[in-house]
Homo-oligomer: A and B are copies of this chain.
């Protein structure tokens, strides 16, 4: 069987994931439905974290921690359309003990379509209280920031 390897890439502190636009992503206006860029952004940062050795399911079951979104600011500049090939760029912008700010961009070739700033908190799965980011993730994220 083929080993899964999403069309992703990381260099100079920027993680890039390529996604395609399907009917599921569009709406009757003929463009990508505005909420769905948040879905694309989640795919991008999930693969960025995975590239650093962190998978969500394992983080939840083994460490009892997960990320929750505290704030999302989306700046829509140009619409994406059916069959477009998009690139999701993910950068670490700020790094706290229990929080993380990411700068993400949805691009089509060189064009920026949507810019997203995302504030995440690391919380305990049961109590929902803030907890420290896993140490190895902090190291990886700090490295990602320096090389930016």
Contact = CB atoms under 8 A, between A and B. Distances in A.
Interface of A: 1-2, 4-7, 9, 16, 18, 20, 22-24, 26-31, 33-36, 38-39, 42-43, 46-47, 55-58, 60, 66, 68-76, 79, 81-83, 85, 87, 109-110, 125, 128
Nearest to A86: B4
Contacts of A35: 24, 35-36, 38-39, 42
Contacts of A22: 39, 42-43, 46
Given A23-B28, A83-B56, A69 B34 contact: yes
B70 A76 contact: yes
B23 A42 contact: yes
A9 to B, nearest CB: 6
Copies, count: 4
A76 B68 contact: yes
B76 A57 contact: no
Nearest to A28: B26
Given A22-B39, A69-B74, 7 more contacts: A1-B109, A2-B87, A4-B7, A23-B29, A57-B81, A60-B82, A68-B76
